[in-house]
């Protein structure tokens, strides 16, 4: 891949609660960390999104069903579960965008209720490279919003991990992103 100054790398919700041992563990979530670390230096602009919920967020449920988008309490503001994994090279990020902050609203997309679009516009960004967790929720919704907003989007598939409940929803999400005009690549396309 040839990267230029109009490109930005959006790292979606690589947070402790989405890794093994976390409150809403995504299988092999921690595996994206070394990949993201390797990819970040290719970009002048890196943005981290983070799920940043109040303790009483609307999506939290004592008997979470996942398929109906009710979840165990996760990524509660200022708790260890909401932090980035220690191994993630957060110093390379130009910005951190918090979402899901409103107790009454779900927000899977990094653009929803945030200044992400205006920041990217200010930097002159036209193309987004996207990776992170979870493929079938925040990666998908961030990608679909980016396409609606007119960005070119490249999803780095092997640097994403899915909730995958029901099984296959991760694969279906990649199909939906491709259908919306996102290009799918792997981290091997960077060297
Ligand atoms: C996410 C479920 C609930 C995500 C966030 O980051 O994909 N998934 N909240
Ligand atoms: Zn959430």
75 annotated active-site: no
If you measure from the C-alpha of residue 190 to the centroid of ligand 2, how many angstroms do you get, rounded to a whole number? Answer: 30
Q: Give the side-chain half-sphere CA count within 13 A for 66.
A: 13
In order of 1, 47, 84, 167, the CA distances from 44 in angstroms are 14, 10, 21, 36
Q: Which atom of ligand 1 has the smallest separation from the CA of 15?
A: 6
Sign of torsion over alpha carbons 60, 61, 64, 70: negative
- Which secondary structure element, helix H or strand E, spans residue 26, and what is its range? none
Best residue for ligand 1 mutational test, from 74, 76, 139, 177 (most atoms within 8 Å of Cβ): 74
Assess whether the previous peptide bond of 180 is cis (omega < 30° from 0).
Answer: no
5 CA to centre of ligand 2 in angstroms: 31
Residue owning tokens 């990524």: 75
Q: The pTM is what?
A: 0.98
Neighbours of 118 (CB within 10 A): 9
Give the ligand at the shortest distance from the Cα of 103. 2
Indicate the domain borders of the chain: 7-190
Would the CB of 138 count as within 6 Å of ligand 1? yes
Question: The tokens of 37 are what?
Answer: 């670390």
User: Model confidence at 191, in pLDDT bands (50, 70, 90)?
Assistant: confident
Q: In the numeric block, which tokens belong to residue 97?
A: 């965008």
Reply yes or no on whether the pLDDT at 143 is more than 90: yes
Give tens-digit pLDDT for 6-18: 999 999 999 999 9
Query: Which superfamily is assigned to 7-190 in CATH?
Result: Isochorismatase-like (3.40.50.850)
Q: Quick: pLDDT tens for 72-125.
A: 999 999 999 999 999 999 999 999 999 999 999 999 999 999 999 999 999 999
**Is 13 annotated in the active site?**
yes
């Amino acid at each position: 891949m040839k990267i230029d100054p109009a490109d930005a790398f959006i790292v979606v919700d690589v947070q402790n609660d989405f890794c093994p041992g976390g409150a809403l563990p995504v299988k092999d979530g921690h595996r994206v960390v070394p990949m993201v670390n390797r990819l970040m230096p290719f970009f002048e602009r890196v943005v981290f999104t983070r799920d940043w919920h109040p303790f009483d967020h609307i999506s939290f449920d004592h008997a979470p069903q996942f398929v109906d988008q009710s979840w165990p309490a996760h990524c509660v503001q200022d708790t260890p579960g909401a932090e980035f994994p220690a191994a993630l090279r957060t110093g390379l990020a130009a910005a951190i965008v918090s979402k899901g902050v409103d107790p009454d609203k779900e927000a899977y997309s990094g653009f929803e209720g945030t200044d992400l679009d205006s920041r990217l516009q200010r930097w002159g960004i036209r193309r987004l490279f996207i990776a992170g967790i979870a493929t079938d929720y925040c990666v998908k919704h961030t990608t679909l919003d980016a396409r609606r907003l007119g960005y070119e989007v490249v999803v780095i598939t092997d640097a994403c991990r899915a909730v995958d409940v029901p099984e296959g929803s991760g694969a279906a999400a990649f199909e939906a992103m491709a259908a919306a005009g996102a290009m799918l690549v792997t981290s091997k396309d960077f060297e």
